[in-house]
Structure 1
């Protein structure tokens, strides 16, 4: 239909241009403008499927300036003004995006919000509770035939509530921009993966070294405990592999043997203090200097006693 209109306009233009009558220049220019507009509409309707079929020049300008987060093509110099959008990350600019995405937020931002409005900090609050089972029932017993039963006490259950801890991860990223719906880069997913790794790492550190106080309920004689395992109150007296005192960290020491002075022998003695229930999944955590000393120890023939591939060691 548009092609027919163009042909008719061309015929009318040619007729008026070749007419003996005086040519109305304003009318000719109007016809030229209508022809150009029809050509532009036809070109837009013949675009690839991934492009929006009915995009006006105003929409094009809006997309370029607002830089939506559904990019396919990297922003080039000159595409947008430096005052409107920064391609680099640093003191001079950049774009801060939400640190945590949930499904509804992601869908809403993809439709409504340009990158420049995404400067915010989204935090994750620890609101975790765990049921505690205190093994106070004792060991099973034997009884003589027809003898009375001796009942054990019932195992005790309590509740541990993690102390309130706000974990914040604010990041700054470069971005891509396009009006193409079939983006080769899912920016939200990339950022979500990054946030998950960072938050998980922080939570792991809190689990080992956190000094935030947890609340304990329904456990006699105990109302609070530290969040970090290594921050617990140390228990050093009378500790054996069967010691199990909730809220305290059982601590043992292994002295370096006088004969040979092998630090690795002390590590083996330390490992032997663990209950068999925990040996299979045990990881020995050393400071970096102790780890280096272990790997540098050699036997009488100059061969290393331990190698990184042989030991489950986490240096710190």
Structure 2
């Protein structure tokens, strides 16, 4: 007798969302996991599965603007170091049979981006987690990404380097050109007036663009907040043309003097001596070093009937090439 395999009724179908990480989030059921502390699973946390970690990274890129334009590297420990050469290897000319004296060697500088533990601790009631229609993974990724994006966005711009990244606006700045200023010091151009643009503000922006040497201008962009951008979008040249150019399609970015603009709300508003406009190649100028995994610990005991999800990631950042980023200082000189 032939046996006919009938499809299961809707109520008997296996719910894929109750498997794997979703089951762990809802009930704390043991799943395949990695020890966070290197001792035992019970004493630490568990690495987030690849799917949800990727979701967090995608959300961070879309909401943390500096991350989307900087150089992001994955590291395995907090002791990350990067070597940068300052200056080149001198060369010389000689005749066919002339002597070739020894030339100077390049000078190395060590970059050690300060880092800290970035964490989020969202909670949900157990009743919410038990609801089969609730997408636990999407909620968790969104909560963590929103908090991480807010905190790291502020740190990449204004972080003081104490248990967190060092922002690119918190380092030393000077009006000296590339060839004479100290390594790690960023150059600023004055706007011409304290807390405002001077006459011909479009000319000041052009000066800012061309203070960046040609190799760095390939891939450069402006960085400013929305209030500053609103002012600049109204600027016109002497012949009445706007310096701001809208994109011709959704895929083509809107440009300022031919370069894309990134809105970063943590950039300061225009005020006396503020560094409210940055222009540079952040891929070459700013380094973000982070652990490749986000760790998460499920805590159903501390705040019953709520379940807390403690997530953390070690992340660091610092300027690695001060020649690749220029800023405008709103001062007379």
Indicate the structure whose relative CO is greater, using CA pairs within 8 Å and at least 6 residues apart: 2
Give the TM-score normalised by the residue count of structure 1. Answer: 0.47
Larger Rg: 1
As a proportion of its length, which structure holds more strand? 2
TM-score, normalised with respect to structure 2: 0.45
Q: Which has the higher helix share?
A: 1
